[in-house]
Structure 1
Amino acid sequence: MATGCAQIRDSKLTFEHTKHAYLGFMYVSPSYRDQSFNSKLIKELINCSKSRGIFDFYLDVYANNDSAIKAYEKVGFKPALLEMKLCLDQLNA
């Protein structure tokens, strides 16, 4: 149906917070999408992390995964870092 985890990590020294939760392995089976499972799962992960004193949350999502981006934005996530890629194999083709 749905899966995900919140991993408590040390934050970069440049951040104001010392720890954060990284949300990963987020997945909702296709037949359960558009039924708020992702939102419910994220809210549970956030509540669990908050009970451990964590109030900052991060996740990664592929730039072309529009449905996942919309799902994360629904619960309040906003872009914070843009990772860029250059693939030389594609340039030489």
Structure 2
Amino acid sequence: MKEIAIRVATPADLETLLRFEQGVITAERPFDPTLRPDPIQYYDLPALLASPQAVVLVAESQQQLVGSGYVRIQAAKSYHLHQQYGYLGFMYVEPGHRGEGINGLLLAACKQWAAARGLTELRLEVYAHNQPAIRAYEKAGFAGHMLEMRVAV
């Protein structure tokens, strides 16, 4: 089994992170008919890398980046029990490395970062028909909570 290291991303990783972002978009495009044609971007990666309110993590195998994810501190709604929570995003594993437990390692590191900052809850969004992603998140302990619905007019 290959050794996988999880570390904080640096600006030197930006080129690979931008490629990973396009991988996320390509994977999610079939689930979202509202996305504009390419090229699009989901994230402001330089800002995330610089933010003290977020951490971008990467998975590294044999000195190659093979996965990513971030957690950022979000303000909760005024009616929630918690004041802040960790919002997860940019969860990506290179296709040739899927099934190696990398997503679980990234999620565990995100949980650890959030807990170290006193956060008691993590949240994320996933497309309702993206069953592989849903299974991966459920395996890590996540459960469905709210389903956002839409209709074109």
Tell me the residue number matched to 1:35: 100
Specify every segment of 5 or more residues in structure 2 that has no aligned partner in the other structure, as ranges: 1-65
1:62 aligns with 2:127: yes
Shift of 1:87: 2.2
Tell me the residue number matched to 1:2: 67
Paired letter, 2:126: V
Q: Distance in 1 between matches of 2:120 and 2:83?
A: 10
Secondary structure at the residue paired with 2:149?
Answer: coil
Paired letter, 2:151: L
Larger RCO of the pair (alpha carbons < 8 Å, separation 6+): 1
Specify every segment of 5 or more residues in structure 1 that has no aligned partner in the other structure, as ranges: 89-93
Give the % identical residues. Answer: 38
Tell me the residue number matched to 2:28: none
Alignment match of 2:87 (pick from 22, 28, 36): 22
Paired letter, 1:42: L
How many residues matched? Answer: 88
Tell me the residue number matched to 1:91: none
Shift of 1:85: 1.1
Normalising by structure 2, report the TM-score: 0.56
Shift of 1:80: 0.6
